[in-house]
Amino acid sequence: MNVFTGLKGKTALVTGASRGIGKATALSLAKNGCNVIINYVHKKDDANEVADEIIQTGQDALVIQADVSKIEDIERLQAQTMECFDGIDILVNNAGIHQHLKSWEMTPGDWKRVIDVNLTGVFLVCRAFVPDFIKKRNGRIINISSVIAHKGTDHECHYASSKSGILGLTRSLALELAPYNITVNAIAPGYIDTDMTSFSTKKERLDTLKIVPLGRIGNPAEIASAVCFLASDLADYITGETLNINGGLYC
C-alpha cells in the first residue's frame, strides 16, 4: 500500500543501498511505487538481494557498483542510469564510512578517505544528476548526515566534519536549486540499529540507551519513512532543512 503520495512511477537512486539505512530506504521507496537504482561498493550479493526484494514488490531495480568518491565511477553510474531509466526523480545520498580514531591517531590518508566518501561523494553524485533535474525543473535530493554533525564526537573528528559539511552543502544546494523546483533536504539520524553503529559490548549498548531520552535505539525503517516523506508530494514546500531523528539525543 502506498503511504506517501507522488512517489508512484518515480525512479530513485540510493547510494550505499546494500545494507542498513540505504537498504531500508530502497525497499521503502519501492513499496511506495518507485523504481530503484541500488548503488554499492563491495557487497554485490547483498545488493542483488535488495534488488530481488524490490522486484517482488512489482517495481524495477537496477544494481550498479560505484565508489562515490571516484569521478570515473560516478560518470559510469550516471551513464548506466540514464541508459536504463532515462534519469531519476529522487536522489538519496546515503553512502558513508567511518573509523574509530582519535585525531592524533589518524593519518592524512584516513582523513581524506572519510571526507572523500562522506562529503565529496555527495557533491560528486549531485553534480552528476542535478543538470537533468534542472532540465526537467523537478527533483528531490535527500542527504543523510548524522547527529554527530550537531554534537561532535570524541573519537572520529573526520566523520563529524564530513557530516557537518553535508548540512552546509544541503542548505547551499537548496538555495541554488529552488528556482528549478528542486528541493534539497538532509536527515540527521541518531543511533540507528545497523552494522555501522554496532556495539562492541552489551555494556556499551546499555550506556548508549541511558543517554537517549526515548530509551531505545532507532531502526532503519524509521529513517526510510522520513526519506519517503521528504521525497513525496507532502514535502513540496520543504527545502534546505535538516530533519533530526535521534530519540531526543539532540534537540
Structure pTM? 0.94
pLDDT at 176 over 70: yes
pLDDT digits (tens, 9 = 90+) for 51-93: 999 999 999 999 999 999 999 999 999 999 999 998 999 999 9
Q: Classify 249 as helix, strand or coil.
A: coil
pLDDT at 248 over 80: yes
Question: Can you tell me the distance from the alpha carbon of 245 to that of 118, in angstroms, rounded to the nearest whole number?
Answer: 19
Q: What pLDDT, on the 0 to 100 scale, is given for residue 47?
A: 97
Q: What is the mean pLDDT of the chain?
A: 93
- Fold category of 11-245 in CATH: Rossmann fold (3.40.50)
Q: What pLDDT, on the 0 to 100 scale, is given for residue 153?
A: 83
pLDDT at 143 over 80: yes
Q: For cell 530533519, name the residue.
A: 243
User: Which residues are known to be catalytic?
Assistant: 159
Q: What pLDDT, on the 0 to 100 scale, is given for residue 250?
A: 84
Q: How confident is the model at residue 156 (pLDDT cuts 50, 70, 90)?
A: confident
Q: What pLDDT, on the 0 to 100 scale, is given for residue 198?
A: 59
Q: Sketch the domain layout of the chain as residue ranges.
A: 11-245
- Check: CB of residue 144 under 8 Å from CB of residue 187: yes
pLDDT digits (tens, 9 = 90+) for 222-247: 999 999 999 999 999 999 999 999 99
